[in-house]
Amino acid sequence: MADYDLILVGTGFASSFFLKAYLEVAPARARVLVLERGRHDSHDWQVRHRRNSSTVASTTFVNETAAKDWVFSIGFGGGSNCWTAGAPRFTPDDFRMESTYGVGRDWPIGYSDLEPYYQDAEELMAISGPDDSQSLFPRSRPYPQPPHQFSRPDALLKQAFPNTFFQQPTARARHATQGRPGCCGSMVCLLCPVDAKFTIENGCSHLYADPRVTLLVEARALTVETEGGVASGVSYEQDGVVKGASADLVVLGANALFNAHILLRSGFRHPLLGRRLNEQTAVDVRVDLDGLENVGGSTLITGTGYMFYDGPHRATRAAAYVSTLNHLSLRLERGRWRQRMYLTISFEALGLDENHVSFDPARPDLPVVVHAVNSPYVLRSLERIPVLLDELLGNLPVESLAIGRPTSNEAHIIGTTVMGDDPESSVLDRHLVYHGVHNLVVLGSGAFPTSTPTPPTLTLSALALWSAKGVLG
Amino acid sequence: MRGADGHADPENAPRLHTRRWFLGSLGALLAGSLGWWGVGREWSASIRSLVARRLYFLDLDPAGLDAFARDAMADPQLPFPKHMHVRRWFFSLYSRVPVRLFPLLPARDRLAGLEARVVQKYLLSTDFFLQGADESVTVRYRAYFDPYRRPCVNPFL
Ligand SMILES: Cc1cc2nc3c(=O)[nH]c(=O)nc-3n(C[C@H](O)[C@H](O)[C@H](O)COP(=O)(O)OP(=O)(O)OC[C@H]3O[C@@H](n4cnc5c(N)ncnc54)[C@H](O)[C@@H]3O)c2cc1C
């Protein structure tokens, strides 16, 4: 008999949402082992130290492309500690890029398959969002919380784009929830001083306190063991000692760099494993306004724009997702202190085989990450930023603009274990099971066949619930 | 100075010596006073003059400005290390003379960014926005702006 029914690697969104669904159907005698490589740096610890983690994430991999960063957080709760909590859904067309626009790949599932799981994930995180976005994102139930307040410039953008500009759906609570106060606009969301954004610690700790669950922190999964095409367990390192545990089901939720690395280190050799690493590219824009005060917005990111998102242009250049921000940034000029706003325009990426994570036997503990090629699909959209801004800001009294350089990361790690129905052209099946290994599940945005310009976390969380349903029945 | 054949001209030597001595002394004096002006100065004095220069059109309560400068020194987010004399010197210079007058200054953008952060911190630490950003009223320091000690302070809400 195996030591455990389930071994789960990681304690971020993907693992925690899978665990939630698992515990709902698991019997009282079920045994779950959770391996988390980092420490449990509590919210109090983080506020005291003014950082999200006691582990420096950049020391956990080798980056072969100096111009490209990969940002994430190690430790209990993973990226939930540092995320800014933007939680929009993908659009229905995001799931069918190839059949609609002839680029990228279709997902093996559609928006309607995922919709009930989106709803559940939104309820778990008490997402605040706008119910007037039904035409873009059909919903079966209203958002759990009402939307945040627009700023004054947002209100003008809404007038100009009534069907494509909305309040950002977010896990920064609009009102207090059980365990979280409402967001009060401190504008330092990477580490919320009042703990108003959803984190695994404030929203899912009870899962790890369940008597069926054994959580080991500072326990790093090294490899997935297999026997006869079946996953039999995991080897892991704790206190400098390599140990092993067997299980009937193995689930990886360690993010798209580490999941692929663990599998490659274990000897998995699918030609696409580790390939198509990608993430969005974004550009920040500072807008100085003439006579219009940027006040009234009730949280950091208030608006999201879809005016440059779907449409025929997507056949040749990347879709754009617009966010309006309320950085605490004063204009140091007489009488114009608050006449300034910020925008971020994010563009989707295409997963290219050249960009990848690999395993180097000489440095077995460190994924080697290469992102050497940028797709012309994205570059064509970047060139059009001035045109987009003209159209976007036509309704606002713009005095001047400062357009930043494309960011070196968007803190979203996508690709490396793409999902699909065909085992030749995908690593995982539609329920995120490794093709040919029926009891090995690989969660997270590594599975996304296309990036979309939208932040990934709500979708990867919904996908973890969908996967649990598919695997556990 | 050299002769046509490349040898030193002994005739010129004493004159040269006098001029070099004069220029050297002048240089040393200048460097000494600039050094005294900069290095001898505390970071906090420079923070004070930076804020006062940038917000020259506001009436800033002087004791409050002193208190802010002291608190800013203790802010780990602002780079005022005690041992960095060169940086302190530049900062001292910059706190009195606007950076746009130094188009070739290598640290120009960094200094301008630091100025924006310090001045903004100051304003957010005062009652300026509580008084409706009224530029005719004296600006008074309340408490150092730190969202982790005093969350929810935001004049944009
Ligand atoms: C600064 C920042 C801001 C962000 N803001 C947003 C946002 O607003 N909206 C959005 O949608 N997304 C945002 N993201 C992205 C978001 O954080 C990620 O999409 C999300 O955390 C991924 O979830 P995950 O569970 O797949 O992985 P993670 O959250 O990264 O969790 C992986 C877990 O696995 C652990 N682990 C890794 N390797 C091992 C191993 N070998 N053994 C055991 N454990 C291991 C890690 O310590 C971690 O706990 C942001 C990210 C950052 C860094």
A444 CB neighbour count, 10 Å cutoff: 31
Low-confidence ranges of chain A (pLDDT < 70): none
Indicate the residue type of A295: V
Instruction: Name residue A340's beta-bridge partners.
Output: A288
Nearest CA in chain B to A191: B148
Instruction: Tell me how far the alpha carbon of residue A84 lies from the centroid of ligand 1, in angstroms.
Output: 12
Average pLDDT in chain A: 97
Residue B148 at interface with chain A, using a CB cutoff of 8 Å: yes
pLDDT score for B37: 55
Retrieve residue A160's tokens: 């100009």
Instruction: Tell me how far the alpha carbon of residue B42 lies from the centroid of ligand 1, in angstroms.
Output: 43
Number of residues written out for chain B: 157
- How would you list the strands of the sheet with A356-358, edge to edge? A62-63, A368-370, A356-358
DSSP code per residue over A63-129? ES-TT-------STTGGGTT---B-PPPPGGGGBHHHHHSSS-B-SS-HHHHHHHHHHHHHHHT-B-
Are A142 and A162 contacting, i.e. CB atoms less than 8 angstroms apart? no
pLDDT score for B10: 45
User: Chain B, 5-64: which have a CB under 8 Å from a chain A CB?
Assistant: 54-55, 57
pLDDT score for B23: 77
Residue B130 at interface with chain A, using a CB cutoff of 8 Å: no
pLDDT score for B111: 77
pLDDT score for B14: 52
Task: Tell the residue number behind the tokens 């410039």, with chain if given.
Answer: A153
Are A355 and A371 contacting, i.e. CB atoms less than 8 angstroms apart? yes
pLDDT score for B26: 76
Low-confidence ranges of chain B (pLDDT < 50): 1-11
Cβ of A304 below 6 Å from ligand 1: no
pLDDT score for B5: 44
Residue A252 buriedness (CB in 10 A; 0-12 / 13-18 / 19+): buried
Q: Which of A301, A457, A460, A467 to mutate to test the pocket of ligand 1 (most atoms within 8 A of CB)?
A: A457
pLDDT score for B27: 76
pTM of the predicted protein model: 0.93
Q: Which of A18, A34, A412 to mutate to test the pocket of ligand 1 (most atoms within 8 A of CB)?
A: A412
Cβ of A453 below 6 Å from ligand 1: no
Are A248 and A2 contacting, i.e. CB atoms less than 8 angstroms apart? yes
* pLDDT tens-place string over residues A260-296: 999 999 999 999 999 999 999 999 999 999 999 999 9
Closest Cα to residue A71, out of A373, A413, A334?
A413
